[in-house]
Structure 1
Amino acid sequence: MDFLNNTTAIITAAGSGKRLPGNRKKQFRELEGIPILIRSMEPFMASELIDNLVITVPESDIAHTEALIEQWFEGINKPYIVIAGGLERQDSVFSALQVCPEGTEYVAIHDGVRPFVSQELLEILFSAVVIDKAVIPAGKIKHTVMQVEGNYAVNTLPRHQLINVFTPQVFAYSIIMEAYHQAYKDSYFSTDDASLVQHLGMKIRYIWDNDFNIKVTDEADLFFAKQLIEKKKL
């Protein structure tokens, strides 16, 4: 893809991981001996589409993260920087956007606990972003979804109009920066980057992804992640 220049991947791993009990933050928990964060970074380190990486972690974990990267990606000369995250995910991503190398044209924003991104997905997303400027991977809704009020389900939402949204989400750098500036100006907050672009009034292109692109949030996710790795060994 010689039409892509100056691409940066932002890996967000500054959360405390409270929904996954244990004595280590979930991004540093291991799957078959490899930290989840390292597994989540690996496709971006390996991809020729990515020029640079910015990784956000808790400030107290910067040195530890840098040591892990040096250990697991020894010999890979791709530029990266590890920075302290903010109070919320939105703050962390905004900080990362501000330290992207000058001239960055496209940015992929990815959860640091989503360890099963494929090279094929990256290629499809970056092919699409050149045209649509804002692209997200998505999965189909399999269950009935209802709106609730208090302890009661009051409305069934039309499943065919809904999608599950994954990462990496890929944007033209100028657009995602505009979206973040506008969000802070309007005091608009979201845990999803595409939502900020929608807040600008833009539509988001979605690309179907498989359901293996899971986010390790709780014990059930950790169980499924281990099963996926075991399956890959077969």
Structure 2
Amino acid sequence: MMIKKLEGKSMKYSVIIVAAGSGSRMNLGYNKVYYPLNGVTILEQTMKKFESDIRCTQIVVVTEGNDYKQHTNHYNGKIVVVRGGDTRQESVFNGLCAVKEDVVFVHDGARPFVTASSLDRLCESLTCNDAAILMVPCKDTIKIVENGFVKETLERSKLMHAQTPQAFKTKLLLECYQKAFTDNYLGTDDASLVERYSNANIAVVEGDYKNIKITTKEDIK
């Protein structure tokens, strides 16, 4: 696949914000992205990071439309609301079908702390790569466990935590998603599909430890 050269500062991109989950681990009785954090929903805080980036021309929010209207009802010229699927993978694919730009970022709706500098680094990486993801070095020792016993300790210097946004040339990601559905393959993140179904190198971009995904109530304390 030919790489289309783009300038990081002038690059235009669409972002898919995945916000279709139930958030059962928060025990809220509703989707966690609509939890008010400092008076503003988690989802709105996430969206604002991309609304303020002039390179982002389209925000595709994948969520239940009625929930969005009830809890947020936030619209402007950038925002498109798309219904989610039964799995995250189906939800992202639904969002991909609405994307208009040649570059797409995929971001968790429950990651409201992504920084502008992280977005800058992703855009810069996409000037010479087809795919790039935010990552931070693993701080903890990771062990493989089988049947309740430690089998192996992994080399920590080679381990990193993947974050979002993950950024791709739109055509590449769409092709990989279509192949995954044909195979009935369910990946753990978007990059895993690109790893499996393409020869594209996925660039590692420096992330930020503050860019956490809000999963439990402890994450918002």
TM above 0.5, one fold?
yes
> Is contact 1:135-1:170 (8 Å) kept?
yes
1:188 aligns to 2:185 (yes or no): yes
- CA–CA distance in structure 2, aligned partners of residues 212 and 206 of structure 1: 17
Match of residue 51 from structure 2:
45
TM-score (norm 1): 0.86
How far apart in 2 are the matches of 1:11 and 1:63? 16
Larger fraction in helix: 1
Match of 2:204 in 1: 206
Q: Quick one: structure 1 residues 59 and 79, their matched pair in 2 at CA, closer, same or farther if it must change by over 3 Å?
A: closer
Determine if contact 1:45/1:78 at 8 Å carries over to the other structure: no
**Do residues 18 (structure 1) and 17 (structure 2) align?**
no
Mapped contact 1:12–1:92 kept (Cα < 8 A): yes
Following superposition, the deviation at residue 59 of structure 1 comes to 4.8
Q: Aligned with 1:130: secondary structure? A: coil
2:85 aligned with 1:83, yes or no?
no
Counterpart code for 1:210: D
Give unmatched runs, 5+ long, in structure 2.
1-7
What is residue 133 of structure 1 aligned with on the other side?
130
Give the CA deviation at 1:30. 1.2
Q: Does 2:68 match 1:54?
A: no
Distance 1:65 1:186 in 2: 37
**Whole-angstrom CA distance in 1 between matches of 2:16 and 2:89:** 12
Shift of 1:192: 0.4
Distance in 2 between the 1:191 and 1:58 partners?
Answer: 22
User: Which residue type is aligned with residue 80 of structure 1?
Assistant: I
State the alpha-carbon separation in 1 of the partners of residues 54 and 89 from structure 2.
Answer: 27
* Identity rate, percent: 32
Larger mean CA deviation between 135-144 and 183-192 belongs to 183-192
Could you tell me how far 1:65 is from its partner in structure 2?
Answer: 5.5
Q: CA RMSD in A?
A: 1.5
**Residue ranges of structure 1 left out of the alignment (5+ in a row):** 71-76, 224-234
- State the AA in 2 paired with 1:203: N
Query: Hey, what does 1:232 align to over in structure 2?
Result: none
What TM-score, normalized by structure 2, do the two folds share? 0.91
| Preserved contact between residue 59 and residue 85 of structure 1 (Cα < 8 Å) | no
